[in-house]
Structure 1
Amino acid sequence: MWPAVTFTSIAIALLGSLVIYLRPTSDDPLLKLASDNSHKYDNDLLELAKIASISSLPEHSTDIEEAAKWLVKRLRDAGLEDVKLLHTKAQPAVYGQWLHASGAPTVLIYGHYDVQPVDPLELWTTPPFEPTVQREGKGQGSFTGRGVSDDKGGLLQPIQAAEAYLKAKNALPVNVKFLLEGQEEIGSPNLAEILEEHKDLLSADMALSADGGQINEKQAGVVLGLRGGIAFEVEAQTVGQDLHSGLKGGSVQNPIHALAQFVAELHAPNGSVAVDGFYKGVREITAEDRADAAAFPFDEEAEMQSLGALGPHGEEGFTTLERRWLRPTLEVVGIYGGFLGAGIKTIVPARATAKISCRLVPDQDPDNVMSVLMRHVETHAPPQTRLTFTPLPFRANPYIMPRDTVANRAAAKVLQEMFGSPVFFYREGWTIPFFDLFASHLGIQPVSFGFGLPTDNVHSPNERFRVSMYDKGREAWIRMLQEIANQAAETASSAEPNATQ
């Protein structure tokens, strides 16, 4: 790993003096190669997005395998070495490497090839697994299809960047390792096992995530932290079987009514979560955190209008961004029971179910939060109601990292060059389990370097990925790999006491 490499003072000084000449320029052959191959790269995404690699649905297990094999071939075609599948109890991960940049840092690049389910299907304007692309003028237009933004377009960009280097220059400026998993959309349940089993194989100086996005097409940012998460299910049962509502209605407890009462009481009138112990360990919001949120380019009124929302809502005493980035939440993500078909069926149902997810912030412990929620369910059942608590396979620790790291400095510099505007450091509300898993199992703190947009309809019908961001992200990855080498050289040079003598 590069910090342990010993350089002579003269070599370090010379390397530092050459940094300015190493940054790719617009006439660089590898940038030209990347630009000239845009049609090929379009086909990459269209081919990969055709594969219905839905990790949450067992009937798509063969699609998961097909996507993994497709990526094995694509990594090999790009010039990566030792490409193979890392098998788990379920979906495999894909690994590849190029390790011939002597003395340079090693970068572990993460992405995921699994996607979300597509329902409701009737809201798609085109079939979700028949992806399309329309290029309209220079960099305009969009890809449409499930997974084009999250994360198939994202994970292809660093592969294409590595390929451009290897074809144009027969070398990369840093050592790279790829880990592409197929379980992110279900909480990466087997990723820890992979990291432990292959710890030596996956060792690196830093990690970059191709799963993520930018603030908008003209404004970039570096994410310093993500919320963690857990999920569970609560079933309410009041009778042994569905009953005729004319014969029994009004004389027995209705589980949908009871569950609705229970769910409504999970929050206090001020918007806080009304569960004893839920906020244990929650880190206080710092002045720097508030300053980041206040400086962030956010038009609350415009966003509410675009979302079709009647206005902001949430925990009192916090701004919208503070609620999203810095405070934990509890959300009912699904509720069902009784007759759901067309028309009417006059019954008192026997059961009703709510699915609930929580987003967690530093320093909340997911196991502790799950424990206090289970205790709450056990002690707050409405009258004549049995509540059953079932944890669901979604669990991730919250993640936070320092601002001043080699990877963050490199990302900020490249993004400012690419977007032409100052880069914001900020936190995000979503959850990607691998961030904390990499930190806890490999001892490296990943940096998000993705190029999706908030308007990409991720996890929704008509998911899209703008052509401009697909192209820009590819060039950004090319620049990022070189900038990491530059930053590492500058860091080594400044750390060497005799480097400038």
Structure 2
Amino acid sequence: MTRLDAVLDHVDANLDASLDRLFELIRIPSVSTEPQYAPDCRRAATWLADQLAGLEFDASVRDTAGHPMVVAHGPATPGPHVLFYGHYDVQPVDPLALWTTPPFEPSLAPQPDGETFILGRGASDDKGQLLTFIEACRAFKAVTGALPIRVSMLFEGEEEAGSPSLGPFLEANAADLKADTILVCDTDMWDRDTPAITTMWRGFVSEEFTITAGDRDLHSGMFGSAARNAVQLLGTIIGKLRNDDGSVAIPGFYDGVTELPEAIKAQWARLPFDSEKFLTDVGLSVPAGETGRSVLEQVWARPTAEVHGVWGGYSGDGFKTVIPAQASAKLSFRLVAGQDPDRIRTIFREFVQSLLPADCTVSFRAYASAPAEMMPLDGELLTKARAALTTEWNREAALAGTGGSIPILGEFKRRLGMDSLLIGFARFDNRIHSPNEKYDLSSFHKGIRSWVRILAAFGDKA
């Protein structure tokens, strides 16, 4: 029996004890957005620090302007040094009446297909996920007395509140948190049997703008055809955002955008994904977006412009025949690697101004932005992690993207200069943020085993 086999056997034999520890953590109602739970957030942080200290980590609870951080460092070991990130805070449980079991009294629910659900708030997001990593470290310590690489951990208590303390904490503790890469276990598998590593995520820029075409609303009978209509002008500008082929029409928008490697396109094409069902599930039937692109490419690897709301003129009960003097819209751009959020904001504003008649004005309001990231697909640690996942699940691990944005990863990159590997074992139907949140017991079990294999692979000098 190899050392790796012995560690995996230990995971299997001690699954009940791992589950007991997860239940302990779920019982702590660490809701970060509600002030009355602040003592519980600290209690969860202390619980994690105590667990890690018991595994011979140098662990501490560190105060911030909000809820505390937990930082832990394992002994220095030759080879790569990873920083594992997770969050111990959870979402509020409202509406409580829709829960079938008490949210902070975890339980097991066997299913007809042989799966068992772990029920409770935080079971999946993120307590169950972060414990898969801690329990993998525990198994190594129990069997071999040491970890195969140097491991540090960072757990925050405000992820569900937008991580307001994370950036300043990273800035103040950059030297202490420096490692070779960051591991994040707060993501999904591709499907219930296929593990995934998220290698790219889109950035975003959000804007509001207001067109002013006169100093007041006008009577359409007196001024119709002679006066500029701000709502119609706004509609014209919005209509010019996209070309007929679905691409964004702003000059320079695609500067810096590169084509996906053909190997990634081929790998995505092999994924079990029904693009037609993807649309029909939300009441759509006609594909939109850039022509000649697969749906996965459109939502993961291509930038976009989307209008979220428009207003102006009169929209109350009855009818008011005015020519609106002002009209406004909110919109955002999802960005891909190679696009700078500040530059996209600038060229969007220049685009709008270029379409304005001389007697009209525009004002802009900037909302949040975040850069896109794409991990190097030939990196040594990514390659080893993918091989380890493929072995454990007996399925080729997907190199996936996500159409959403993950601002904390930008913080890691900007403040620490480190890339992130996103490897999670949640499933799409885990009901995170909703009543009856659950985590599949098989995900918890195989998640622990997966991290054992990944850590062993990272420590392999071959």
Does TM, normalized by the shorter one, top 0.5?
A: yes
Partner of 2:270: 295
Label 1:268 to 1:44 Cα distance change in 2 as closer, same or farther (>3 A): same
Give the corresponding residue for 1:413. 387
**Is 1:141 matched with 2:93?**
no
Aligned twin of 2:396: 422
Contact 1:364/1:398, CA 8 A, preserved across alignment: no
> How far apart are residue 200 of structure 1 and its match?
1.7
Secondary structure at 2:59 match in 1:
strand
> Which runs of structure 2 are paired with 1:69-148 in the superposition (5 Å)?
70-79=44-53, 80-85=57-62, 87=64, 91=66, 94-100=69-75, 102-113=77-88, 125-126=98-99, 130=103, 134-137=108-111, 138-141=114-117, 143=119
Question: 1:395 offset after TM fit, Å?
Answer: 1.4
Is 2:337–2:371's contact at 8 Å kept on the other side of the alignment? Answer: no
Q: Report the counterpart of residue 172 of structure 1 in structure 2.
A: 147
Q: Distance in 1 between matches of 2:234 and 2:26?
A: 44
DSSP-derived class of the 1:453 partner: coil
Cα separation, partners in 2 of 1:357 and 1:457, compared to 1, 3 Å: farther
Q: Please name the residue that 2:419 is paired with.
A: 445
Map of 2:258 onto structure 1: 283
Q: Is the 8 A contact 1:278 1:369 kept in 2?
A: yes
Does residue 390 in structure 1 map to residue 365 in structure 2?
yes
**C-alpha distance in structure 1 between counterparts of 2:138 and 2:309, whole Å:** 43
Residues 166 and 287 of structure 1, relative CA distance in 2, 3 Å threshold: closer
TM-superposed deviation, 1:178 = 1.5
Contact conserved, 2:6 with 2:143, CA < 8 A, in 1? no
In 2, Cα distance between the equivalents of 1:42 and 1:248?
71
The equivalences for 1:11-90 within 5 A come to 21-25=2-6, 28-45=9-26, 47=28, 50-54=29-33, 60=34, 66-67=40-41, 70-79=44-53, 80-85=57-62, 87=64
Aligned length: 453
Instruction: Find the aligned partners of 2:425 and 2:258 in 1 and give their Cα distance.
Output: 29
Quickly say closer, same or farther: Cα 1:181–1:386, change in 2 above 3 A: farther
Percent sequence identity is 28
Counterpart pick for 1:355 among 330, 350, 371: 330
TM-score (norm 2): 0.80
**Pair 427,174 (structure 1): closer, same or farther in 2 beyond 3 Å:** same
**Residue of structure 1 equivalent to 2:305:** 330
Q: Does 1:373 align with 2:345?
A: no
Report if aligned partners of 1:113, 1:152 keep a CA contact under 8 Å in 2. yes
Change (3 A) 1:336 1:148: farther
1:246: how far off? Answer: 11
Quote how far apart the aligned CAs of 1:299 are.
1.9
Deviations 1:375-416 (A, max 9, x none): 2344445898754322213312423223241x2233223312
**RMSD of Structure 2 on Structure 1 (CA):** 4.3
Contact kept, 8 Å, 2:73 with 2:153, in 1: the verdict is: no
Give the letter for the 1:483 counterpart. Answer: A
Q: Residue 71 of structure 2 contacts residue 155 of structure 2 at CA under 8 Å; is this kept in 1?
A: no
Quote the residue 1:17 is aligned against: none
Matched, 1:206 2:181: yes
Deviation (angstroms), 1:423: 2.2
The AA in structure 2 aligned to 1:38 is L
**Structure 1: how far apart are the matches of 2:61 and 2:294?**
47
- Post-superposition offset of 1:144: 6.3
SS of residue in 2 equivalent to 1:283: coil
Q: Supply the distance in 2 between the matched residues of 1:439 and 1:283 (Cα, whole angstroms).
A: 20
Change over 3 Å in CA distance of 1:387–1:357 after alignment to 2: same
Which of 247, 258, 261 matches 1:272? 247
Deviation, 1:352, is 6.1
Aligned 8 A contact 1:33 1:168 in 2: no
Q: For structure 2, list consecutive stretches of 5 or more residues without a partner in the other structure.
A: none
